[in-house]
Amino acid sequence: MYNFNYYRPLSLEEAAQVLSAASDGKLMSGGMTLIPTLKQRLANPSDLVDLSEIADLSGIEAKGDTVVIGATTTHAEVADSEVVKSQIPALAALAESIGDPQVRNRGTIGGSIANNDPAADYPAGLLGLGATIKTDRRQIPADDFFTGMFETALEEGEIVTAVSVPIPKKAAYAKFPNPASRYAIVGVMVAQGPAGTRVAVTGAGPGVFRVAKMETALEKNFSANAIEGISVPAKGLNADMHASADYRAHLVGVMARRAVTAAG
Amino acid sequence: MPDSGTNTGIGASVRRKEDFRFLTGKGKYTDDLNRPGQAHAYFLLSPHARAKINGIDTNAAKQAPGVVDVFTAADLAADGVSGPICGWVVTQKNGEPHKSPAVSALASDRVNYVGEQVAIVVAETLAQAKDAAELIEVNYQPQPALIKMKDALANGAAQLHDDVPGNLCFDWEIGDKAATDAAFKKAHHVTKIDIHNNRLIPNAIEPRAAIGDYDSGMDMMTLYTTSQNPHVARLVLAAFMGLGPENKLRVVAPDVGGGFGSKIYVYRDEIVTLWAAKKLGRPVKWTAERSASFLTDAHGRDHDTHAELAVDKDGTFLGLRVSTLANVGAHNQIFSTATPSYLYGCLLAGQYRTPAVYGEVKTVFTNTAPVDAYRGAGRPEATFVVERLVEKTAKEMGIDRAELRRRNFIPPDQFPYQSPCLVQYDSGDFPHLLDRAMEVIDYAGFSARKQASAERGKLRGIGLSCWIEACGLAPSAVVGFLGGGVGQWESANIKFNPTGSVTLYTGSHSHGQGHETVFAQIISEHLGVPVESVEVVHGDTAVVPFGMGTYGSRSGPVGGGAVYKAAQKIVEKGRKIAAHLLEASVEDIEYAGGTYSVAGTDRTKTMAEIAFAAYVPHNYPLDVLEPGLDETAFFDPMNFTFPSGAYFAEVEVDPDTGVVTVLDMVGIDDVGTVMNPMIVAGQLHGGFAQGIGQALYEQCVYDENGQLLTGSLMDYCMPRADHFPSFRTEETNQPCPHNPLGVKGCGEAGAIGSPVAMLNAVIDAIGVNIDMPATPEKVWRALQSQAQAAE
C-alpha cells in the first residue's frame, strides 16, 4: 500500500469538498475492492475519502411503493432487513449471497454499484428491479447507470446517496457463483412489477445486461417454459478459466428459468 | 462429550490441550514473535517464468528511506551460502544418479519461474522495504517458458539448467518388466487409461515466515521459522548451505499453522533471512504474503500417467503397467525426487495380489514453482492410478466394482505380503474394510437412491476406493539403501519433575496434529500421570535433544514409539528406586498404572513418590544408581507402516449446470491402534476435505507464459465447510505388528483415499471419464459430448 491522505467526513458537503480538493482522490465505502487493490499496490490515490461516517447515507425504509436503501448500507443489513425481506425478498436473498460474512458486513450497496464489477450481484438486482440511483446531484435510472465494465454514469466527484427500488409483484435472483470468489459467474434477476417485466444478467458479459427476448416471452406468460429455448449468444460474453463463453450463455438460460420458477 | 478427566490414557477422546491457545488467539506463531531492534525483509520476486538476468542495479533501492541494505545472489555466493538441496538420490534406469541442478541462494544469472527470489531488501519497516524493492532494476532478458512437461522434454527444447540435459531429472523404473510383459500376453482383457493428477497449491493457513537473529557475543545464529522439522532444517542449513556449524545454529519452529508437507523444506527466503541477520548484525524478519505463498510454496502432485491393467477372464488381475511423467518444477527440493519415485511406485500394487507390476517414471524440470511432497506425497497419485484403473475395469468387464476388488484382494492370511513393488506389507484385512464400508454406505440400497435422484432430474453416482499406503517414515536402513540422505528415527526425552509432573521433549513437530494431547496420553497410559501434568515441548533445537520432525504420518508410529520407549526406561529405573524404598528385590517389584508394589503385599510407591526420591535422594541407592528421573530414547522402526481403508463417495450431479454435490463420504480405516478417536477423526476429516478439494475444486493453473492464473483465493478454490456433508468415519483398531504402540498413522490417509473415490463417483454418475478437478463446466461438457455422441 502506498501512502495517501485519509479523510472521514461527516457530511456529503464535506466529502465533496475534500474530494474536489484532492489531486487524485478516491471515494471509499466498504473498501471491499479498493483495499485489496491498494494492498497490491495496483492503485495509488492521493486521498481516500471514507463515506462510512456520513449518517444520512445509511438505512433502509419503505416509501410508498418503493424501498429506499442508503448508499452505505451493508449487504448484511439489506439481507437482515425486515423491510427488504417482506417487500423485496429477492433483494434480501441477493444480498445474502454476496461474498462471505466479512464482505457482507463491510461491503455496501453504494460501493458495489459505483464500482460496477461485471460479476457483482447488485447491478443485476437493481437493473432487474428497475431501481433508481440517487446521487448528490440527481436521480439516475438503473437502465442508464450501468454503462460498461467498471463504468457507470457517475460524473467526476458525484456521490451515490441511495437507491430507490420499486416493490415488484414477483422477483427472484438465481446465481451461479464462482466457487472460489463467490462472485457471479452468472446471476440473473427476474422481476415483474411497476418497472415492467425484466431479466437482468450479471457475470456473463462485460457488464450487466437485459435479455429482451426473455422479457417479451415472460410478459405474455411468466413461466419457466415460456423462456425454454431462448438463449443468449455466446459471442461477446466473458470467458476465463472458470467458465467459457458457451457455458456462460448456457447458464444464463438455466439461471433465468430457475429465477422464474422461484419467483412463482 | 469426550471423556476428558476420567480416562486420559490411550484410546480416550481427550480434548486437545493446545486448542485453548489456538482458539483464543493466544498461539505464538513466527510472525507473532519480534526481536529487539529487528529490521524487516521483503523479497523481490521474478515476474518472468524464464529469463536471463543481465544485471541487477540496487543502488537506488539502497538509497531509499529506511533501507538497511539490499542483497543479491552475488553477496550470498561471496559468503559461500548456497540454495535449497535435494535430500534423496534416486538411481535411474541407466544406473546413474538423478540430475539435481545447482541452486544458488538467490537467483543469479537466470530465473526459472514466476516468484523466484531475486533480491532481498532489508529496511526499518516492511513498507519501506517494499517501496525500495520497486527501485531495484533487474535487466531481464525474457525467454520462452517451458510450462508443459512434454514441451520441456521435446527434442531440442531449451534447457532450464546447464547441468541438466533435456530437462530430465530422472528416468526411473520399479518392478519386473519382463514378467509384466508376459502377463499382458496372457490377458483376456486389458484396461487402458490416461489420467492427469492435478497440480495443487498447499495453502497452509499460516504463511511461511522467518526471523534471523545473530548473537555476536556467543557467535550464535538463531532462525525462528515455520518448519515441520527444525532439527533437519538445522542440519541442512549447517551442512549444505554454509550457515553452520551446527552447534552455533539454533532453529526454533514455534506454533506452526499447518504444513501439509510445504514446510518440510528449507526455502531460499529462510536461508537468506538468516544470513542477512548475521551480515547486518541485527534481527531480520520476513513473512510471506499470501500471494507470495501461492508463487513460492512447493506445489503438489502434477502427474500425467498412462496405465494398463491385464485381466483374466474371471477378473483376476494378471499384470499392471504404469508410465508416468511427473513435474518437479524449476528445481529440486528435499523430497522432490523421492515423492514421484519410491513414495509413488512402491504402492502401485495397491490392495491386490497382482503378480507382475512394472512402473516407470520420468521427472521433468519446467518453468513452474518447485513441486514436492504434499499431504500423501506420491501415495495419492498411486492410489489414483490403481483405483481409477480398477473401477474402469469393473465397468468394462461388467463386474460389480466391489466384487472385482474382492476377487483380487491380498487375503488376510497372506501377511506379511511381499509386494512386487519392493515393500513388504505388514498387515491388513481388506475384505473386512470393504464389507463394513458397504454396510455403512448401504451399497445394496444405492440403485433405489439413484432412481430417486433420477426422478428429481439428478444423476447420482457412487465411487469406491480401496487403498493402501506406506507411511511412518521410516526404517533408516531401508531409506538409506534407497538413496535417502538422513536417518528417520525419532527421539523423546521424558523428564520427571521432583513434584511428579512431566516434561516431554519430542523431536516430532506439531503444526496442527495434536501432539501435545496425544503424547501426553501415552505418558498418562504408561506412567500414570494425568495429561494435565504433562508438558509436551517441541520445535526448538536448543531445548529438544534431537528430532526428525513431522511428515509422512510418522509422529504417531515413530515419534510415539520413541515416547513409549523412553517411558519404559523410566519404568525400569523407577523399579530399582522402588525396590530400594520398599526394601525388596527388584525382581519382586510389580508395576502397573503408575504404581509400584511388592508382589503379594500391599506395600506400594507411586510414580510421584519415586520421582521425588530420585531428585531428593536422601534415602536412595546412590552407590549403584544415579539420581534423577530423566530418560531419552530413540526409536527407529523395523518397517514402514501400512494403513489401509475402504472409502465410498456418493454424489449427485445437476445435469443442467454440471454442479457436483457431495451427498456422502464414508471411510473405514485401518490406521492401527487409535490413540485418540476424536483426533483421528479430525485428521481423517481434514484429509477428506483436502482430497475432495483435489477431486472437485482445486487446480493450479499457469498460462503458456508461466504466469500463475490461480494466484489468489479468488481464483484458486479451496474447499469450504459448506461443500461437504457430515463425514462418516470408522477405524478398525487393528494394531501394527512391528511398533510398540501398534500405531499405523492417520495424517495422510484421508487425502490418499478420498480423491479417487470422489472422482469415481462423479464418473459413475455421468458415465464419462473426466479428469480432476470435476468442475461444473468440465462435467457439463462431458454430458454434452455424451448427448451428442448418442444422437
State pLDDT tens for residues B584-613. 999 999 999 999 999 999 999 999 999 999
B716 in contact with chain A, both atoms CB, cutoff 8 A:
yes
Q: Distance between CA B734 and CA B732 in Å, rounded?
A: 6
CA distances to A201, A246, B320, B659, B721 from A231, rounded to whole Å, are 12, 11, 48, 20, 34
DSSP secondary structure letters along B717-744 = ----GGG----EEEE--PPPTTSTT-B-
For residue B132, give the chain A residue with the closest CA: A2
Question: In the block, which residue shows the cell 490417509?
Answer: B749
- Tell whether ipTM is more than 0.90: yes
Q: Do A254 and B656 touch (CB under 8 A)?
A: yes
For residue A182, give the chain B residue with the closest CA: B714
Q: What is the pLDDT of residues B282-322, one digit of tens each?
A: 999 999 999 999 999 999 999 999 999 999 999 999 999 99
Q: Distance between CA B741 and CA A96 in Å, rounded?
A: 50
Q: What phi and psi, each to the nearest 5 degrees, are found at residue B603?
A: -85, 125
Band (pLDDT 50/70/90 cuts) for residue B218 is: very high
pLDDT over 50 (residue B251): yes
CB B197 within 8 A of CB B149: no
Listed by number, the residues of chain A in 129-188 with a beta carbon closer than 8 Å to a beta carbon of chain B are 176, 178-181, 183
pTM over cut 0.90: yes
Mutation for testing the B interface, residue in A2, A183, A247 having most B CBs under 10 Å: A247
Handedness of CA B339, B341, B347, B348 (dihedral sign): positive
pLDDT over 90 (residue B5): no
CB B379 within 8 A of CB B346: no
A181: chain B residues, CB-CB within 8 Å: 713-715
A252: chain B residues, CB-CB within 8 Å: none
According to DSSP, the β-strands at A196-202 and A209-210 are antiparallel
User: What is the per-residue pLDDT for B6?
Assistant: 59
User: What is the per-residue pLDDT for B2?
Assistant: 40
Q: How far is B148 from chain A (nearest CA, A)?
A: 17
User: What is the per-residue pLDDT for B264?
Assistant: 97
Q: In chain B, count H helices and then E strands.
A: 21, 28
What share of chain A has pLDDT > 70, as a percent?
100
Nearest to B152 by CA among B471, B365, B311, B5: B365
Nearest to B157 by CA among B16, B339, B384, B366: B366
CB B105 within 8 A of CB B77: yes
Q: Do A247 and B714 touch (CB under 8 A)?
A: no
- As a whole number, mean pLDDT of residues B733-750 equals 96
B638 in contact with chain A, both atoms CB, cutoff 8 A:
no
Mutation for testing the B interface, residue in A178, A241, A248, A258 having most B CBs under 10 Å: A241
Q: Do A40 and B291 touch (CB under 8 A)?
A: yes
Q: What is the CATH number of domain B19-26+489-635?
A: 3.30.365.10
For residue B127, give the chain A residue with the closest CA: A1
B707 in contact with chain A, both atoms CB, cutoff 8 A:
no
- The b-or-e profile of A9-46 (16+ CB within 10 A means b, else e) is beebeebbebbeebeebbbbbbbbbbeeebeeeebebe
A242: chain B residues, CB-CB within 8 Å: 715, 775, 777
Nearest to A250 by CA among B769, B658, B774: B658
Q: How far is B759 from chain A (nearest CA, A)?
A: 18
User: What is the per-residue pLDDT for B7?
Assistant: 82
Q: How far is A195 from chain B (nearest CA, A)?
A: 30
B127 in contact with chain A, both atoms CB, cutoff 8 A:
yes
According to DSSP, the β-strands at B220-225 and B249-252 are parallel
A250 in contact with chain B, both atoms CB, cutoff 8 A:
yes
End-to-end CA distance of chain A: 48
CB B519 within 8 A of CB B14: no
**Three-state secondary structure readout of B16-48:** CCCHHHHHCCCCCEHHHCCCCCCEEEEEEECCC
To the nearest 10°, report the CA torsion of B246, B252, B257, B263: -10
CB A176 within 8 A of CB A185: yes
A251 in contact with chain B, both atoms CB, cutoff 8 A:
yes
- As a whole number, mean pLDDT of residues A251-260 equals 98
Q: Which of A179, A181, A251 is opposite residue B697, by nearest beta carbon?
A: A179
B656 in contact with chain A, both atoms CB, cutoff 8 A:
yes
- As a whole number, mean pLDDT of residues B511-523 equals 97
The separation between CA A112 and the C-alpha centre of its own chain, rounded to angstroms, equals 6
Q: Three-class SS of residue B318? A: strand
Which cell numbers in the block locate residue B80? 559461500
Q: Which helix (H) or strand (E) holds B683?
A: helix B677-692
User: What is the per-residue pLDDT for B791?
Assistant: 80
User: What is the per-residue pLDDT for B537?
Assistant: 98
Q: How far is A247 from chain B (nearest CA, A)?
A: 7
User: What is the per-residue pLDDT for B3?
Assistant: 42
What residue ranges define each of the domains in chain A, with the CATH number in brackets?
A: 5-50 (3.30.43.10), 58-166 (3.30.465.10), 170-263 (3.30.390.50)
Catalogue the long-range contacts made by B141-145 (C-beta closer than 8 Å, 24 or more residues apart): B141/B51, B141/B52, B141/B53, B141/B54, B142/B48, B142/B50, B142/B51, B143/B50, B143/B51, B143/B52, B144/B50, B145/B48, B145/B49, B145/B50, B145/B367, B145/B704, B145/B705, B145/B706
Give yes or no on whether B19-26+489-635 and B303-473+639-790 have one common fold: yes
Q: How far is A251 from chain B (nearest CA, A)?
A: 7
Q: Distance between CA B136 and CA B132 in Å, rounded?
A: 7
DSSP secondary structure letters along B620-667 = S-TTTS-S--EEEEEE--SS-B--EEEEEEEEEE-TTT--EEEEEEEE
* Number of neighbours of residue B648 by Cβ within 10 angstroms: 27
A2: chain B residues, CB-CB within 8 Å: 131
User: Residue B474: is the preceding peptide bond cis (ω within 30°)?
Assistant: yes
- As a whole number, mean pLDDT of residues B334-351 equals 97
Instruction: Give me the residue spans of the domains in chain B.
Output: 19-26+489-635, 33-143+205-258+263-296, 303-473+639-790
- As a whole number, mean pLDDT of residues B546-567 equals 96
Residues in chain B: 791
> Domain spanning B33-143+205-258+263-296: which CATH class is it, in words?
alpha beta
- As a whole number, mean pLDDT of residues B402-431 equals 98
pLDDT over 60 (residue B1): no
> Domain spanning B303-473+639-790: which CATH class is it, in words?
alpha beta
End-to-end CA distance of chain B: 57
